[in-house]
Structure 1
Amino acid sequence: MDIRQLQYLAALAREKHFTRAAQACNVTQPTLSGRIRQLEQELGVPIVERGQRYIGLTAEGERVLKWTHLILDNWQSLNQELGQIRSRKGELVGRLVLGVIPSALPKVATLTNAMQQVHPKVGFTILSQSSEEILRNLHDFSIEAGITYLDNEPVEGLLQAPLYQERYCLFVSASHPLAQRSSVDWLEAAQESLCLLTPNMQNRRIIDRAFTAANAHPSPRLETNSIMNLLSSVRSMGLASIMPEYFIDVLGKLEGVRAVPLANPKVEHAVGLVAINREPRSPFIAALFAAAKTL
């Protein structure tokens, strides 16, 4: 058994398709299939359900996959620590994979910038994921850290570092009748032609709860999993949308768009950095949380 075999198995479980898994690992499909068959022979158990296409893992394969994720995570942490030791200056060199809820994507640069100020040779892969995907991917080690809600998800037992409070505004075109208001009630907002994130997003579930608390039941004209699509829909289609207040500053001057604070009820939630709490702690995770505390 070797690391490559485990990497191929993890990729197959993630992609649920032999060809896509092989492409992700930069090998041919026969190579990936052959190495996984070798792993089955070495362990003496069937790992993959056999068929004309990928069906899934066997019960034994699911157990092997859990150990695979754990071994790969520790192997990566070991390489990070040894890389730091090998470096002449003891600096971190490598890449971190972060899962980030869509509403926090414009804000993530403040964290990555703080990290790079101290560790300029660390790169990042930023993935837009729902809060549920972030929790799942943390536990199967396909991401190393996440930025998600701290008070709306089961994050107990994870390392946590608050980053900011998310508050909400109604985004409308500059010519909209509500554009010059100092605030808008949630009940009023429900009467507008709305574009919102899709219901699987935690941000949308927060918004839906606020509408329920205001005894309002909107019917969105458009739903999307893209924040940029929400903004373009406000600008181009004349729709209204509900997005975090900080977009006003982080995205720069939004030409032709106004953000009006929402009230009655007042809604705000903590957003922060999360990672698996384990020892020994990866040098990258330790450095990332140190950077988060400086914000």
Structure 2
Amino acid sequence: MDIRQLRYLIALAQEEHFTRAAEICNVTQPTLSGRIRQLEQELGVSIVMRGQRYHGLTEEGQRVLRWAKRIVEDCEGMREELEALTGDLRGSITLGVIPSALPMTPDLTGPLRKLYPQVGFSIVSRTSNEIIRQLEDYSIDAGITYLDNEPLEDCKTWPLYRESYRLFVAREHPFAGRESVTWAEAASQPLCLLTRDMQNRRIVDAAFRQASCVAVPEVESNSIISICAHVQDGGFAAVLPEIVQRTIGTASGLKAIKLVDPVVQYTVGLAVQDRDPLPILVSSLGDIAESFAG
């Protein structure tokens, strides 16, 4: 068994197509298929459900895939650490981020880029549940997500900030001049909310229940930009995290009013798989998160 066989398997699982996986790996399709067959023979299990086309991985293949991702990640981590010693680190890091935390990602990526100018970043918007799954299968290197509402397991975490909530309205809205509104008052408005697969939405629904009211949104979206656009139109209000103001800015024409009765806050932070040693880029990101939180 060698690292190339594991990379071929990971590519096949990602592309779900032998030819596309071979193209990504810069080999021919027969070469990729042959090396995966060799891996099956060496391990003594069937990894791929074969037919005229790719039909997925066997149960054993799913287990092999998980180990393959971990081994390849450890191999990449070793390479990055050695490159860092020579001052020539050229790796990349993938961050999965809950939508509400996207505005603060430069606070982490900026300092990391100063440390390693040749490192690249891939930042993807994900739900908190997706972040958990993708940390487990090494699809992402780190996640920015809620830490205390639905606790993470087998993860190392660093708190970044406390998320609080605001009612976003257009400047001509009757509430626009107020410093605060209650959750019960917010429930009476035509609302735009994030979709139910978002942990933010579960937090917001729980806050409305705590205020002894139920909010039935007229618009639901997994895009904060889409929600803000509906509010800008003047016909809706939206419950969103305070940090969203960093994205929309003061020129948006929206007012963000503090929500009270109850005052709700949750911790958002950085999460990575708890492993030793951590890859140097992930470890450095954790150091930045720790100093940022301080």
Q: Work out whether the TM-score is over 0.5.
A: yes
CA contact (8 A) 2:89 2:119 kept: yes
**Equivalent residue for 1:46?**
46
Counterpart CA distance in 2 for 1:20 and 1:117 is 36
Give me the TM-score of the superposition, normalised by structure 1: 0.90
**Equivalent residue for 1:85?**
85
- One-letter amino acid of the structure 2 residue matched with residue 265 of structure 1: P
**Cα distance, 1:29–1:258 mapped onto 2, change above 3 Å:** farther
CA contact (8 A) 1:96 1:123 kept: yes
Counterpart CA distance in 2 for 1:239 and 1:32 is 54
Counterpart CA distance in 2 for 1:17 and 1:258 is 49
Instruction: Please state whether the residue corresponding to 2:278 is helix, strand or coil.
Output: coil
**Cα distance, 1:222–1:32 mapped onto 2, change above 3 Å:** farther
1:117-266 paired onto structure 2 within 5 Å: 117-236=114-233, 238-266=235-263
Counterpart CA distance in 2 for 1:216 and 1:226 is 25
Instruction: Extract unaligned runs of 5+ from structure 2.
Output: none
Instruction: Please state whether the residue corresponding to 1:8 is helix, strand or coil.
Output: helix
**Cα distance, 1:81–1:236 mapped onto 2, change above 3 Å:** same
- Structure 1 residue 20, shift from structure 2 partner: 6.1
- One-letter amino acid of the structure 2 residue matched with residue 218 of structure 1: A
- Structure 1 residue 187, shift from structure 2 partner: 1.3
Counterpart CA distance in 2 for 1:255 and 1:223 is 20
Counterpart CA distance in 2 for 1:18 and 1:216 is 53
CA contact (8 A) 1:97 1:143 kept: yes
- Structure 1 residue 149, shift from structure 2 partner: 0.6
Instruction: Please state whether the residue corresponding to 2:47 is helix, strand or coil.
Output: coil
- Structure 1 residue 60, shift from structure 2 partner: 1.5
Counterpart CA distance in 1 for 2:103 and 2:63 is 38
CA contact (8 A) 1:170 1:262 kept: yes
> Which deviates the most, 36-45 or 253-262?
36-45
CA contact (8 A) 1:102 1:227 kept: yes
CA contact (8 A) 2:156 2:274 kept: yes
- One-letter amino acid of the structure 2 residue matched with residue 46 of structure 1: S
Identity of aligned residues (%): 52
Counterpart CA distance in 1 for 2:23 and 2:181 is 50
TM-superposition CA deviations, 1:147-196 (whole Å, max 9, x none): 01110223244211111110000111111111111111111111211111
**Equivalent residue for 1:56?**
56
CA contact (8 A) 2:96 2:142 kept: yes
> Which deviates the most, 99-108 or 243-252?
243-252
CA contact (8 A) 1:162 1:270 kept: yes
- Structure 1 residue 103, shift from structure 2 partner: 0.7
**Equivalent residue for 1:103?**
100
- Structure 1 residue 278, shift from structure 2 partner: 1.5
Counterpart CA distance in 1 for 2:67 and 2:39 is 13
- Structure 1 residue 133, shift from structure 2 partner: 0.9
- One-letter amino acid of the structure 1 residue matched with residue 200 of structure 2: N
CA contact (8 A) 1:77 1:283 kept: yes
CA contact (8 A) 1:114 1:292 kept: no
Counterpart CA distance in 2 for 1:178 and 1:18 is 58
Instruction: Extract unaligned runs of 5+ from structure 1.
Output: none
- One-letter amino acid of the structure 1 residue matched with residue 63 of structure 2: R
**Cα distance, 1:175–1:283 mapped onto 2, change above 3 Å:** same
For these two proteins, the number of residue pairs brought into alignment is: 292
Counterpart CA distance in 2 for 1:223 and 1:20 is 36
CA contact (8 A) 2:103 2:243 kept: no
CA contact (8 A) 2:108 2:288 kept: yes
TM-superposition CA deviations, 1:111-134 (whole Å, max 9, x none): 111222333222211011111111
Counterpart CA distance in 1 for 2:29 and 2:213 is 52
